[in-house]
Chains A and B, each alone.
Chain A
């Protein structure tokens, strides 16, 4: 499942990325395979979204959350 499919409050574990270039950026920000992510909120207009990962809050667009495969 994609990270962008999660609803607010739902958690998932990062399994893989579907985009190599974005994966480097995301991993540098703490989104590593095996990390647990939790969706905290969506911006007022539905995009971007804020997630809790590696002990801090990260925001990213849904199109970027699409490349993160979670379980």
Chain B
């Protein structure tokens, strides 16, 4: 790596678009060393043939952090030993809102790292009548200024050239004297840390608690300096901000001229008048939500059917042509069955993320946040909780990470605690399987699919549960911190379709690889547990049926099925399922469902894979019908009624709606809350809720 470039900028300035433009598919996501915040890095070739590493830092309005994510910016820029410490900072500013964007520029510039200022969305701001004298601006700031449009791929080459031309030494002019804000404390820090940078010293005074590279002794000494000189953080921050804006006012005077300010936001206002209207706003939001659910169900029917029949074709062909034996069975009934259970959900995940991506890209999601804040704050949440909760429809794991944007600790904890109740894509396979078993496929009122409606009800159940739990937690959790909600409403824009496709691809890939690992592993373990039993039970069963099978005058299919079923019941998995049966009998489940509950404790979607394994073992090799048909036709040996009755189906769906069956979520909550307290509380309350709800449902409906 020849040079390290960090991208810094306000939210909504097109930082991520520029990052994608510069690095293309050549990017990876990891963690910053020692901290759990996402680190997006990528690589690009410069015009002189050198290779540059690009680091996308979290968007922030200033170097003073309001959330965990934002605190990363100064942590990286303050620490020369950090592996992400850049040689060059590219600061991205929205050309149409220069003054506010330059506040961050002037703070970062004072840290003394070489910088380039990039004015993004230059085409848009010109259309709005803003004229910027780039040469004059570059002279007044002392850095290269490049105007680009990341969306429309304008000026990217100029930017790469500017990075190539970069000096090793910072050239930006320092015009705001921060030393006057707290001279004694700043000078004491400067001599302590052996630095001559006033602003670095001031920032250390403000933020040293976040800086992990200081030893405990250094932290104590900095704290002593603060105490000795009565360092008042908020007051000094306010004074600094005013001083910087004053300076920027003179920098920008004569550089920026606006010709037609009044019409600048006309279209935006018209759209807002409808989209955030008292009645229409909510109606449109509900309409969009309903369409998302409908699309997830309707559009995915055909691709899902293709995937399903593709996998059953492979299994059938495999059993016909591969040599019979244990390995073939393991591959076909363990691995391939497991893979089928993963791939089938790709269409739905892709569709959901396409919608989320479009809603965020257009700026509509911010309006949803704006509209929902009052409702959300009533139950102890925040308008910003809407994004994690809508994201929870896809997967709780990234959504819980997205809750980092919520500055307030209590709002954030409650959001984290209730997000897994929102029905994620892993529940979708379970819901779909059971709905297809117990709800007839009919049209209601000529348009709505009854199964689709049932699915929507299950999603509503999740949302209502999340709201109720949040309400309870609002009164239980105590905090001194005050909640606030200050947010920029970005202007409406067209979605970037390439970005939508990229998101669909990325999320599907993450699902296949992350959930896939668990599911394949569980499929194999299950196959082994279902194919072997303790002692010589299997031999005895074979001996018992041997005479009947030897009789070639009668068809043997029925006898083979009986034998396979008896073997399954005596396998390790069967024994485990029988063992937990007393606990789940009141919920309406048999031991086979019990096995499903056990295996899907790690990940819900494993339920479907488990059923696939159990019923393909159960059905014998000749039976090539799909799992769904086998499950529908399965009958309770004692009562003679179908196993998947309406009552059992509803009970099972409610169990899956509430239970915390996701190891990844437990892990992410541990990571995000830095301890076991919250993940354990979550695990316990959700499992208890699931059991009680399933019990009540079955007892009422049976």
Contacts from A to B (Cβ < 8 Å): 20-30, 32-33, 40-41, 43-48, 50, 52, 54-61, 63-64
Query: Residue B485 at the A interface, CB < 8 A?
Result: yes
Q: Which residues of B, 314-373, contact A by the 8 Å Cβ criterion? A: 370-371, 373
Given contacts A41-B276, A43-B371, A55-B97, contact A60 B242 (CB under 8 A): no
Number of A-B contacts (CB under 8 A): 109
Contact of A61 with B370 at beta-carbon distance under 8 Å, contacts A44-B282, A52-B265, A56-B100 already known? no
Tell me if A's interface is mostly helix, strand, loop or mixed: mixed
Chain A residues whose C-beta falls within 8 Å of the C-beta of B375 in the assembled complex: 45
B599 contacts the other chain (CB 8 A): no
The distance in angstroms between the C-alpha atoms of A25 and B408, with both chains bound, is 13
Give 4 new A-B contacts, CB below 8 A, not counting A44-B276, A56-B97, A63-B484: A24-B241, A32-B241, A50-B276, A59-B485
CB distance from A28 to the nearest CB of B (A): 5
Residue of B nearest to A51 (CB): B489
Q: Knowing A29-B100, A44-B276, A47-B374 touch, does A64 contact B484 (C-beta < 8 A)? A: yes
Known: A20-B234, A32-B245, A47-B373. A56 touches B276 (CB 8 A): no
The 7 closest A-B pairs by CB, nearest first: A45-B374, A57-B489, A30-B100, A44-B278, A27-B241, A28-B62, A60-B486
> Is the C-beta of B48 less than 8 angstroms from some C-beta in chain A?
no
B380 proximal to A (CB < 8 A): no
A57 to B371 Cα, complex, angstroms: 15
B-side contacts of A25, CB under 8 Å: 66, 484, 486
Please tell me which one of the listed residues B61, B370, B485 contacts residue A28 in the complex, with CB atoms under 8 A apart: B61
Enumerate B496-516 residues with CB–CB distance to A below 8 Å. Answer: none
> In whole Å, how far is B128's beta carbon from the nearest beta carbon of chain A?
10
Inter-subunit contact B487/A54 (CB<8 Å)? no
CB distance from B34 to the nearest CB of A (A): 27
CA distance A20 to B218 in the complex (A): 29
- Contact in complex: A61, B484 (CB < 8 Å): yes
A59 and B97 contact, CB distance less than 8 A: no
Residue from A29, A33, A46, A64 in contact with B61 in the complex, judged by beta carbons closer than 8 Å: A29
CB distance from B161 to the nearest CB of A (A): 30
**A58: B residues at CB distance < 8 A:** 486-489
From B64, B245, B279, B373, A24 is in contact (CB under 8 Å) with B64
Chain B residues in 8 Å Cβ range of A46: 374
User: Please, how many angstroms separate the alpha-carbon atoms of A29 and B549 in the complex?
Assistant: 81
Q: Is the CB of A27 within 8 A of B245?
A: yes
In-complex Cβ contact of A54 among B100, B269, B489 (8 A): B100
Residues A28 and B103 in contact, CB atoms below 8 Å apart: yes
Residue B99 at the chain A interface, CB threshold 8 Å: yes
B264 neighbours in A (Cβ, 8 Å): 55
Chain A minimum-CB-distance residue to B99: A54
Interface string of B405-446 (1 = CB under 8 A from A): 000000000000000000000000000000000000000000
